[in-house]
A and B are shown apart, each in its own frame.
Chain A
Amino acid sequence: MTADTWQVVAAVVVFAGAYVAIATEFVHRVQAALVGAALMLAIGASNGEVAFFSQEAGIDWNVIFLLLGMMIVVSVVKQTGLFEYVAVWAAKRACGRPYRVLVLLCLITAVASAALDNVTTVLLIAPVTLLVCDRIGVRPEGFLIAEAMASNIGGMATLIGDPPNIIIASRADLSFNDFLVNLAPLVVVLMGVFVLLTRWLFRASFTYDADRAAAVMDLDERRAIRDPKLLSRSLVVLALILVFFSLHTVLHVDPSVVALLGAGALVLVSGLSSEEFLEDVEWETLVFFAGLFIMVGALVNIGVIEYLGEQAVDAVGGRYLLAVTGLLFGSAVLSGIVDNIPYVATMSPLVADLVESGGGSTQANSLWWALAIGADLGGNATAIGASANVVVTGIAARNGYPISFWRFTRYGLVVTAVTITLSWPYLWLRYFVLV
C-alpha cells in the first residue's frame, strides 16, 4: 500500500501513544490496544481486509486460537487437582525442609509452565505454596517470587510456554520441536543455576522449626483428586496434544489446530459445564492480542516496518553476532520495563526482515532465539515484567504478604543479569562457533 506522509506520521504517533499508555499503565492495556487499533483503521493505515485477513499485516489468528485452545485445556486440567497433589507430595518428600521444598516447587512450576502456560501455572501453584509455608511456619514471599521466576524460565523451553514464544513461532514459522531443540537445553542449565542462586537470594526464608515443619506431613494430597477419571482422561488428552505438537513436521497440523482439537476433546470427555471449561479463558488477553496485531499490522501495511527493517539490515551489515548480542541484552532490558508481549509483537516483523536478509542462515536465524530468550528472561527483571509476576504479587498481597515492586525487582535484576549473561555464550557457541 502507498501511504501518504500524514498517514505514516499519524500511524507512528498512534502506535507510540498506545505503547506509552500500555507501558505506563496510564490506561488499561486492552483499552490502549483497542483504541490504537480503531485509530489505525480510522486514519486508513489499515482496513477491514488487511486487519482481519492479511497474514502479514493482520490479526494472527494462529496465535489467538492457540491461546484460546490452551486456555480451555488449562481450565479442564485445573479441575483435576493434579497441581495440588504434586505440590503437596513434593513438600512431603522434602520433609518440610524449606530449601528443598522451594527447589521442588520451582522445578514443578518450570515443567508445568513449559507444558501449559506460566500464568496458569503460578495461579495454581501459589495457593498451595501458601498452604505449605503456613504448615512449615516460614514466610512465603521468597517462595512465591522464586516460583514466578521459575515459570518465566521454564516457559521459555517450548512454543506454548510463554506468549512471546507463540508470537515468534507464528511469525518465524518455527515448530514446537524447534523450540525444544534450541531452547530447552539452555532452560535446563539456567534452572540448575537458578535453584542454586535461590539458596543465597532467599536464605532468610529458610529458617524454620523442624517440629512445626512436620505438620506438612499431615496433609493428605490424595484427597486433592476428587475425580480420578477426569484426571486420567485429561492427562491422556494433554499427552496427545504434546505429541501432536512435536509431530508438526510430519503431520503438518498447525499448533493452533492441535490446541483447538485438544480443547474440543477435553470438553467432550470431561463432562464439565461451559462455565467450568471457559473459566480460565482470559478474554481480555485475547482482545489485547487482536488490538496489538492490528496496530503492528498497520505499521507493516504502510511500510514503516519495512523501512525500519532496511535500516536495521544496513546497520547490522552481516554482523549477526553483534545483532544477536544487542537483541538479547536490549530485549532483556526492554521486557523488564514494558510487557514483553507488545514488545515481541513489534520486534517480530523487524527480526523477520533481518533473518530474511541473512538468507535464513543459522546465524541469522539465531536472532529469533535471541529475541525469545531476551524477552522471556527479561520478564523476570521487575514485578511488572511478566504476567506471572503480576499474578503472584497479587495473590501474595491478598493473603497478607505484600511484595513491593522494589523487593521483587531487587531479586529480579540479579536473576535476569545472571541468566541473560549465561545465555550469551550459549548463543555464541551454538550458532557461531560450533555450527
Chain B
Amino acid sequence: MHAADLAEPFPVVHLDDEALPATRMLAREGLPGLVVVDDDGGPLVVLPASQVLRFALPEYLEEDPRLARMYPEDEADAFCNVLAGKTVRELMPSKQYLPRHDRDRPVVGVGDTLIEIASRMSRQHSPVVAVVDDEQEIVGVITVHRLLGATLQQS
C-alpha cells in the first residue's frame, strides 16, 4: 500500500488566513491539526491541535500553570478570544515551527510506503502529513488515525 492509496481530502490554511476561523474549522471538523501551506500552495508545516491550544494561551501561563487558576470563570471559558484578529502566521512567532529544509516539511510522496509515512510522522511529531505528487502539488493528506487503521488492517 502506498501514500496515494491513503490520501484523502483535507482542508488547508494559508499563513495569512485568520487564526480564529481556522481554529473553529479545526474544532468543528474534529481535525488532528492544521495543514499550513506557503504562498505557492506547498505544505509548509502542520500545527497539531495541541499546538494551536498553546498559541491561544499567554506564554506565562505555561511558565506558571498556577496562574491559570486565578482567572475568573467567564474569561477562562473564552480564552480562545485572544486569537481574534490574528493570522495563522502570528501563531508561529518563534520560527521554530517553520521548516529549515525541505526534508523537514510534513510531506510524503505518492509512492511512499506505510512505514515511510509512519517514520515521517514520528520524526516530526505530526498527526498529519500531506501527500504530494511529482510536481509537489497536494493530492491529499494522511492522518495518523488513517495510517494506523491501514497498518492494523494489514496485520
Contact = CB atoms under 8 A, between A and B. Distances in A.
B58 A128 contact: no
A81 B58 CA distance: 19
B58 A134 contact: yes
A61 to B, nearest CB: 33
Given A128-B64, A395-B63, A223 B58 contact: no
Interface string B57-72: 0111101101101111
Contacts of B30: none
B93 A400 contact: yes
Interface stretch (A9-17, A181-189, A214-222, A295-303): A214-222
A398 B69 CA distance: 21
A221 B70 CA distance: 6
A127 B69 contact: no
B82 to A, nearest CB: 10
Contact of B69 (A130, A218, A226, A399): A226
B67 A220 contact: no
A81 B68 CA distance: 12
Contact of B59 (A84, A218, A224, A400): A400
Given A218-B72, A218-B75, A220-B72, A399 B60 contact: yes
A224 B66 contact: yes
A124 B64 contact: yes
Contacts, number: 52
Contacts of A399: 58-60
Interface string A381-404: 000000000000001001110000
A218 B70 CA distance: 9
Contacts of B93: 400
B67 A127 contact: yes
Given A130-B58, A134-B58, A81 B66 contact: yes
A126 B60 CA distance: 8
A82 to B, nearest CB: 10
Contacts of A88: 70
A45 to B, nearest CB: 43
Contacts of A84: 64, 66-67, 70
Contact of B67 (A128, A218, A395, A398): A128
A293 B70 CA distance: 44
B66 to A, nearest CB: 5
A219 B70 contact: yes
Contacts of B58: 130-131, 134, 399
B30 to A, nearest CB: 31
Given A134-B58, A399-B58, A223 B69 contact: yes
B60 A131 contact: yes
B64 A219 contact: no
A16 B72 CA distance: 56
Contacts of B66: 81, 84, 224, 226
A124 B64 CA distance: 8
A131 B59 contact: no
B18 to A, nearest CB: 19
A393 to B, nearest CB: 14
Nearest to A222: B70
Interface string B37-68: 00000000000000000000011110110110
Contacts of B70: 84, 88, 131, 219-221, 223-224
A219 B58 CA distance: 16
Contacts of A126: 60, 63
Contacts of A128: 60, 64, 67
B67 A224 contact: yes
B63 A224 contact: no
Contacts of B67: 84, 127-128, 131, 224
Nearest to A123: B63
A398 B75 CA distance: 23
Interface string A73-105: 000000001001000100000000000000000
Contacts of A224: 66-67, 69-70
Contacts of A223: 69-70
Contact of B60 (A81, A130, A219, A221): A130
A81 B70 CA distance: 11
Nearest to B93: A400
Given A134-B58, A399-B58, A400-B93, A127 B63 contact: yes
A131 B67 CA distance: 8
Nearest to B59: A399
Nearest to B69: A223
Interface string A201-231: 0000000000000000011110110100000
A416 B66 CA distance: 34
14 contacts: A81-B66, A124-B64, A127-B60, A127-B67, A128-B60, A131-B58, A131-B61, A131-B70, A218-B72, A218-B75, A223-B69, A224-B69, A398-B63, A399-B58
Interface of A: 81, 84, 88, 124, 126-128, 130-131, 134, 218-221, 223-224, 226, 395, 398-400
Given A128-B60, A130-B58, A399-B60, 8 more contacts: A84-B64, A127-B60, A127-B64, A128-B67, A130-B60, A220-B72, A226-B66, A395-B60
Instruction: State the 10 A-B residue pairs at the shortest beta-carbon distance, nearest first.
Output: A127-B60, A127-B64, A130-B60, A223-B69, A127-B63, A218-B72, A399-B59, A219-B70, A81-B66, A84-B66
